[in-house]
Chains A and B, each alone.
Chain A
């Protein structure tokens, strides 16, 4: 693989950009791999990357039914933060946030990580108390956050209206090291690095069945034929129940639609990320100038990648109240993704009832930020067959044992 660098751009500029090579291969599947990962979203690709990088396992295929990054990884509003309440969450999300800081170097692709700071607005007294509690918890966990008052919020976000009629801004939880990154580049960067390690990334290859023998995985059937493996990682977000059914077990997961939208591009007006959880609105400005807006989830099971319009209305109504200048903006595009919700709003990085099959799912509305940390932890689980310290608390058995990692109370919603 030729390395990307400023020098490479200059060199190619002098020869009509004819020297760029394909970023990743497009091989036909082999008969057998040491490990197969289903799903070429960020989490599947990061799992493959760390299987190679941390454990030297490179006879790996990543199977993707569509195109890589075409699932939630390419549909999200890219907010990265680690200010969660519970210790196991803070540990994995903080690991992930710190890996984002060096991701561009690690994979040799500019993922445009922008640690511009994230504010979660407190717009009710309940939220003020909740975020103060989170700030204290974060201090103990070694995650840098502070609770700030309304004046400081106004300094950071001049376009905000502190005196909204329904939900005045009473303060906020500020994580200066949070931010955003370019979602496609995260998927592409890992794909390119994995391909370079000799792994096969196979697009347009849907897994349609899972073969087991004596309680352990033997092979997968796909739209490109049968492929054998001894280790199978299911990393398919909203489609996890479907794959689990192929392997003969159920998951504590429900799939629902989550939507986002972007406005027309405007001049720079906001250089931090703002989340307003009470009213379900999330906002940042992209480098192109569009306001990128995340909304709420529909409340019924859905696989259509479309959401209900009234959620868009709710989100926009709330944002206009808090950011009056938004009322003048035209919206350009709206889309949805199918997110995988667990009962405690925390993910699964887990063994399953079938030997050799592992799941990584349940990131729901907030797993973009977790991609590198999740891949790191999942690779260890797949390589060793047992979870390491980051994944240990995220096993499926927590639902039987009542050991929930409850982030639903903590955030109300999560992104």
Chain B
């Protein structure tokens, strides 16, 4: 059972209380974007083996969206953090590098 701490209400919620929203930190394609940019925003995914930044909603709790850094191979959770950021904060990257010193960062 996957357990994530909601950064807003501090509850350690298990996955039946949460909703997954897919890859985080995507730049939204908008008016004037090309077909390729829309395709990439809507469908192309990193889907990495290893460190994954993703969106979650505390659906049956406070209802808010937050972000998590998680390992898709070991299911280890490095950190959860507020969604009001366009890239992972320094302390999240530090938590990842503490476990994976040679991690090259997300593409």
Contact = CB atoms under 8 A, between A and B. Distances in A.
Interface of A: 239, 241-242, 245, 250-255, 298-304, 308-310, 343, 399-401
Interface stretch (B36-44, B82-90, B94-102): B36-44
B15 A400 contact: no
Interface in B16-73: 16, 19-20, 22, 35-36, 38-40, 42-49, 52, 54, 70, 72-73
A255 B23 CA distance: 12
Given A298-B15, A300-B54, A302-B72, 10 more contacts: A241-B47, A242-B48, A245-B107, A251-B44, A252-B39, A300-B2, A301-B72, A304-B72, A309-B1, A400-B36
B73 A310 contact: no
B42 A304 contact: no
Given A301-B72, A302-B72, A309-B1, A251 B39 contact: no
B44 A299 contact: no
Contact of A304 (B39, B52, B75): B75
Interface of B: 1-2, 15-16, 19-20, 22, 35-36, 38-40, 42-49, 52, 54, 70, 72-75, 107
Given A250-B40, A310-B1, A300 B20 contact: yes
Given A299-B19, A310-B16, A255 B2 contact: no
A329 B71 CA distance: 36
B69 to A, nearest CB: 12
A401 B47 contact: no
B47 A301 contact: yes
A334 to B, nearest CB: 15
Given A300-B54, A310-B16, A252 B72 contact: no
A301 B2 CA distance: 12
A301 B54 contact: yes
A254 B39 CA distance: 15
Contacts of A399: 39, 42-44
Contacts of B49: 239, 242, 303
Q: Tell me the interface secondary structure of chain A in the complex.
A: mixed
B2 A308 contact: yes
A18 to B, nearest CB: 45
From A251, A300, A308, A309, name the one whose CB has the most chain B CB atoms within 10 angstroms.
A300
A300 B77 CA distance: 13
B48 A241 contact: yes
Contact of A303 (B16, B40, B44, B73): B73
A304 B75 CA distance: 8
A255 B70 CA distance: 14
A290 B90 CA distance: 52
Nearest to B35: A400
A142 B10 CA distance: 56
From A303, A343, A401, name the one whose CB has the most chain B CB atoms within 10 angstroms.
A303
Given A302-B75, A400-B39, A241 B46 contact: yes
B46 A252 contact: no
A354 B18 CA distance: 38
Contacts of B48: 241-242, 245
A302 B46 CA distance: 13
A254 B49 CA distance: 11
B1 A253 contact: no
10 contacts: A245-B107, A250-B45, A251-B47, A253-B45, A254-B47, A255-B72, A300-B15, A303-B49, A399-B44, A400-B36
Nearest to A299: B20
B73 A252 contact: no
Given A399-B39, A400-B39, A308 B47 contact: no
A317 to B, nearest CB: 13
Contacts of A308: 1-2, 15
Contacts of A310: 1, 15-16
Contacts of B38: 400
